[in-house]
Structure 1
Amino acid sequence: MPTKDVLTSADIAELRRSALGMADPLGVAAELADAVEQNRLADPDDAGGALTLAAEIAEIRGKPDAALRYAERALAAYPSGEDPLAGFARALRARALFQAGGREDDALAELTALRPFLLVQPDAPAYVSAALDAAGRSSVAETWLSEAVDTLLGGRATAAGASTQAITAVPAVEVGPAESPGVLFFLLQQRHRVRRNLNLPHDRHDDLADRLETQLVRRAGDRNGGEPDLLFWPRAEFDRLLAAHAELTGTYGPDWDAHRARLEKELVRLAATGQVGLGVLSATVAGLDGFAGRRDGDPSDRETRAGYARELAARPAARIAWPPERNDACWCGSGLKYKKDCLPRSRS
């Protein structure tokens, strides 16, 4: 990244979207830290966010010592420990402690201190569970998320090993507005993800997660005339899709280039919110039509496609991780390098 005299909030936001795809991500992290140290931020209040981004880059690139330094500086820069971004910085600090070796107790103590945030901050379920997942503590994440869900619902978790017949009815809970669905929604979604990865049986709270997601998808579609999803149609499948379901042109794009650009931009947007472990789900027309047939649904219906996406998400082979390294093959399967193909599409 070329050195700039002053980094604006827009510059930092752009780096959050693109830093990992650059030739020298660690250099970007160092530049961010230097900009804070040298008072080269247009808005001094951006210091915490800039250093948190530096810590995130270093942790992802396997440099726990640098990540730890940046995270601790970020925490000192935030005016309040209750700031949601401060919580993310603390989770990054815990991840770096796990990576560093010999400091697992310190890392777990840091995350334990963040447990109350699960009940009040929508982003907390994602960054706390991601830190525990990265350390091989997914079972701990499942316990914490389950207890938080029970606290918010005021109920008792389904007993382990309970039969389907013994599971109580799904509570009557409504999701919030599509742009701000609320803490419970994010808790349930993260718990559902963790339990799926642990191969745990579907329970009543998983049913509730599915139901609230369906509500949210419907509301987002009503608001936007369609919903962004992460179903990826490889080139041949994309042609088959539009031939069989021309009405989906508005959802997935008029051509394959537009389809890939939409996905790349959505992934960049999600990454900018702090989400990790992103990827797309490789879809087939036969798979979508088969799912719709089993559920007596319509392939063009967004709820049917959301259900198909959930089915694919349970199959590790269907998931394509994102982002690749800048010089690696592009995630779309074109055979070109990422930097020459889909990476630039996020900026078009």
Structure 2
Amino acid sequence: MSEKADLTSADLTAIRQSALGAADPLGVAADLAEAAAAGRLADQADAGYALALAAEIAESRNKLDAALRYAGRAVEAYGTGDDPRAGAARALRARILFRTGRSADAMTDLEALRPLLTQHPDAAAYVSAALAAGGRTRLAEEWLTEAVRAVLADRDQPAEPASAEDAGLLFFLLQQRHRTRHALGLPHDHHDNLADRLETRLAGAAARPAEDLVFFPEAELGKVLAQWPALSEAYGADWDEHRAHLETELVRQAAAGRTGLALLPATAAGLTRFAGAEGDPSSAQTRAGFARQLAGRIPWPPERNEACWCGSGLKYKKCCLPRSRG
């Protein structure tokens, strides 16, 4: 690993993709741990990420003592903050604890993570994977089933979501439960059938109109809504709703397997010119045509610690990243 003065989130992601093919992966793991300890990270909030990566590398080489040490330091680095990666680090430690024969300690970690199943989309995957690593796939199915029931009971909408987007967190739980039950050889039940229906609807909606990714900066959206108040239904009633819609749609498209996603920056004047030539922008056809002729692109997603795509000046993790979970 290079001795850069400061490792960014992008550097860590690149290391994740290349470390296992490195000539000395355990050396890379040790360097990552040293970088976290010595403050050689562009953002010290990435210390847990660097240490968890070191743990994964060491685990892949069956150096379980080192992996457990790094994983423990990763959990400590995340502390009690709200970084969603903290749960994944704790699940990683539980997985390694299982492999070292410390099942009771592993279950203590996982029991602490169990409430996250009804709070964070990623938790269904990393909690159930850790349980499966400990030979507790049946318990993972039980936990996921209880989480599905709890989320269904808390929904204000009808019990049958109309789409994967409408299902939100429930969709991720149903997917993971479906995979877990398949691994166990269990027959389909009504929750599995719902998972299949949502998958089918998601596949059918994978190619959404380009208008769904048109982005107006805050001042521009204000001008658009002042001129055409009815467009609040298409673009959002205010800038927060506009950004939340876009982030949610981008996450949905990424989950459907689409790559190279980008936002299409637009202006009120541009929409006015296009509408003057082509028709009323309250028409979905006009909005779609406007979207297709936009030349600019804002690649998505940015790194967690990079500036947010919306131009707020805040880091992505503190701005639009959480909006898709609302």
Out of 197, 202, 211, the residue aligned to residue 211 of structure 1 is 197
Give ranges in structure 1 of 5+ residues lacking alignment. 156-169, 225-265, 270-348
User: Do 1:171 and 1:208's aligned partners in 2 also have CA atoms closer than 8 Å?
Assistant: no
Counterpart-to-counterpart distance in 1, 2:150 and 2:201? 22
User: Do 2:164 and 2:201's aligned partners in 1 also have CA atoms closer than 8 Å?
Assistant: no
Counterpart-to-counterpart distance in 1, 2:165 and 2:141? 26
**1:130 and 2:151 aligned:** no
Which runs of structure 2 are paired with 1:155-194 in the superposition (5 Å)? 171-177=159-165, 182-194=168-180
**1:108 and 2:88 aligned:** no
Which runs of structure 2 are paired with 1:1-348 in the superposition (5 Å)? 1-101=1-101, 103-154=102-153, 171-177=159-165, 182-222=168-208
Q: TM-score, normalised by structure 2?
A: 0.60
Moved more, 68-77 or 127-136: 68-77
Q: The residue matched to 2:121 in structure 1 has which SS?
A: coil
User: Do 2:164 and 2:198's aligned partners in 1 also have CA atoms closer than 8 Å?
Assistant: no
Letter in 1 for 2:106: A
Alpha-carbon distance, 1:216 to partner: 2.1
Moved more, 7-16 or 187-196: 7-16
- Percent of matched pairs sharing the same residue: 60
Alpha-carbon distance, 1:79 to partner: 4.8
Bigger radius of gyration: 2
Q: The residue matched to 1:50 in structure 2 has which SS?
A: helix
Deviations 1:99-132 (A, max 9, x none): 111x111111110111000000100000000001
Alpha-carbon distance, 1:210 to partner: 0.9
Letter in 2 for 1:109: T
Q: TM-score, normalised by structure 1?
A: 0.56
Q: Which residue of 1 aligns with 2:238?
A: none
Number of equivalences: 212
User: Do 2:87 and 2:113's aligned partners in 1 also have CA atoms closer than 8 Å?
Assistant: yes
Counterpart-to-counterpart distance in 2, 1:211 and 1:203? 13
Letter in 2 for 1:174: A
Q: The residue matched to 2:205 in structure 1 has which SS?
A: helix
Q: The residue matched to 2:208 in structure 1 has which SS?
A: helix
Moved over 4 A (4+): none
User: Do 1:59 and 1:95's aligned partners in 2 also have CA atoms closer than 8 Å?
Assistant: no
User: Do 2:91 and 2:109's aligned partners in 1 also have CA atoms closer than 8 Å?
Assistant: yes
User: Do 1:59 and 1:92's aligned partners in 2 also have CA atoms closer than 8 Å?
Assistant: no
RMSD: 2.7
User: Do 1:81 and 1:87's aligned partners in 2 also have CA atoms closer than 8 Å?
Assistant: no
